[in-house]
Chain A
Amino acid sequence: MSTACEPLVGSTMPLSTAKRHKSVRKNSRRIYSAYQDRQQGSSDDNDKEDEHVDSNDPEEMFQNIQYQKEIIANIRTRPWPMRRKLKVLKQAREIVLRYEGRLTRTRGYQTAGADLLKKVSRLLYNTLVLFIPWEVRIKKIESHFGSGVASYFIFLRWLFGINIVLTVMTGAFIVLPELLAGAPFGTTRSKTIPNEHLASAQDLDTIWSLGGYLQYSVLFYGYYGRVRKIGSAGYRLPLAYFLVGMAVFAYSFIILLRKMAKNSRLSLASASDENFTFCWRIFCAWDYLIGNPEAAESKGAAIVNNIREAIVEEQEKKKDTSLAVLISLRILANILVLLSLAGSIYIIYFVVDRSQKLEQEKPELTLWEKNEVSVVVSLITMIAPSAFELVAQLEMYHPRTSLRFQLARVLVLYLGNLYSLIIALLDKVNSMSSAVPTNSGNRSGSSSFLATISQPLEGSISTRISEYGNSTTATITAVLDIASTGKSTSKINETSLFERNTRSQQDQCWETYVGQEMLKLSIIDMIFTVGSILLIDFIRGLVVRYLSDCCCWDLESKFPEYGEFKIAENVLHLIYNQGMIWMGAFFSPCLPAFNVLKLIGLMYLRSWAVLTCNVPHQQVFRASRSNNFYLAMLLFMLFLCMLPTIFAIVRYKPSQHCGPFSGQEKIYDIVSETVASDFPLWFSQVMGYITSPIVVLPALLLLFMLIYYLQAIARSLKFTNNQLRMQLQTERTEDKKKVFQMAAVRLQAPEEAVDRQSDLLESDMESQEAAAHTPSPQWNGNVRNFQSPLRHGNSIHTVTQSAAGLDLDRGCVAGSVASPMVTNLPKQIRGHVPNRTTPFLGGPRGTCRSKSYHHMAYNPQAVYSGHIQCEPVCRKPMCSFHPVEPARGVSAQSCGGCRGHTTRYLIVNEHVPREKLVRSATRIPRHYLMEEPAEILELYPRTFQHYTRRTTRHPSQPPPPHSSQQQLSEEEGGGEEQGEEGSRRLSLEKAPRPSSLSNLLQPAHFFIGDCVERHRSMAKDSNTSRGRYEAQEDDEDDNDDDDDDGELKWQGLESYSGFQANEKGAEPLVVRTRRRIPTSGKHYPSLGRVRPMETYTKPKMKQKRENPVTESDSSSEQQNSSADQRMQASRNKEHESNRRRGKLAKKSLKQDLI
Chain B
Amino acid sequence: FLICVAIRANYPLYIRSVPTQGELKFHYTVHTSLDVVEEKISGVGKALADQRELYLGLLYPTEDYKVYGYVTNSKVKFVIVVDSSNTSLRDNEIRSMFRKLHNSFTDVMCNPFYNPGDPIQSKAFDSIVSTMMVQAC
* A and B assemble together: no
Interface residues in chain B, defined as those with a beta carbon under 8 Å from any beta carbon in chain A? none
Interface residues in chain A, defined as those with a beta carbon under 8 Å from any beta carbon in chain B? none
